Amino acid sequence: MVILVCNDDGIYSEGLHALEAALAKVGEIFTVAPDREQSAVSHSLTLHRPLRIDEIAPRRFAVNGTPTDCVNLAVKGFLPVRPQLVVSGINKGANLGDDVTYSGTVSAAMEGSLLGIPSIAVSLVIKGAPHHFAPAADFAAVLAKEVIAQGMPPDTLLNVNVPNLPREELKGFRLTRQGKRRYAETMEVRVDPRGRKYYWIGGDDLGFDPGEGTDCVAVHDGFISVTPLHVDLTNYRALQELGGLQLPWQ
């Protein structure tokens, strides 16, 4: 059983090491991860410069590219065998609600799923130290075993978010739907030492919509959230509502 491990925090991140240690008990691990932090790069591919791969330890490879590049290279021929599972993480920070569209962690799993491989993204919902990576890694291993044994519906990836709590304080897990986070619509404008303006985006966290059954609510209530995602972004409700669309266009 070969498992491909990737992340977006980079090959030296603590969360990646915790995940590798836990998954080593489930199968043979190959890690192909960015050589530096690539958080919030989303599903981007590097198409306009060469990609290099460095073997930094046996079966551990650092790539000068994005999480999606890593999974793409690994599955399309860099690894000696095709992995049966892709696991991305453990991200240092939540990937809840609409944040999944920015996430490099989720996108690595998305790429695995697009390539036809069952895939899981794992994130730790961190609001401050200490970081409880171990329970999140243990849960990832249990889930990985289950996915290997039972398979997964086609075109699906599992987005897992684990509250940053010691094992005994986690309440269990919930299957959830994607919620909605709220951020302040602000940006910072400052002036650099040479007198030029610069800008800093990323608004303050204003919480989340209290929708029932969502990932945000589950994590807030102390549960591990497991959301099945797919890449089809079609709004089927709108497709029906727009069914009678008439335009003056011949």
- Residues forming contacts to Mn ion in the complex (CB under 5 A) are 8-9, 39, 91
Query: Rounded to the nearest whole angstrom, what is the least distance from the CB of residue 96 to Mn ion in the complex?
Result: 13
Residue 100 · residue 229 · CB < 8 Å: yes
How far apart are CB 69 and Mn ion at their closest, in Å?
A: 15
Chain centroid offset of residue 96 CA: 10
Least distance to Mn ion from the beta carbon of 231, Å?
Answer: 20
Alpha-carbon distance of 56 to 63, in angstroms, equals 10
CA 5 to chain centre: 12
Which residue number, 94 or 152, has a Cβ lying nearer to Mn ion? 94
Residue 87's φ and ψ, nearest 5 degrees, are: -125, 130
Q: Is 206 exposed, middle or buried (0-12, 13-18, 19+ CB in 10 A)?
A: exposed
- Toward Mn ion, which CB reaches closer, 12 or 210? 12
Provide, rounded to whole angstroms, the least separation between the CB of residue 92 and Mn ion.
6
CB of 166 to Mn ion, least distance (A): 22
Least gap, CB of 144 to Mn ion (angstroms): 20
Question: CB burial class (10 A; 0-12, 13-18, 19+) of residue 187?
Answer: exposed
Nearest CB to Mn ion, comparing residues 106 and 152: 106
CB under 8 Å to 127, separation ≥6 — which residues? 164
Choice between 72 and 91, CB closer to Mn ion: 91
State which residue has the least CB distance to Mn ion. Answer: 39
Task: State which residue, 39 or 113, has the beta carbon closest to Mn ion.
Answer: 39
Task: Name the residue among 48, 42, 31, 145 with its Cα closest to residue 90.
Answer: 31
> By C-beta, is 39 or 178 nearer to Mn ion?
39
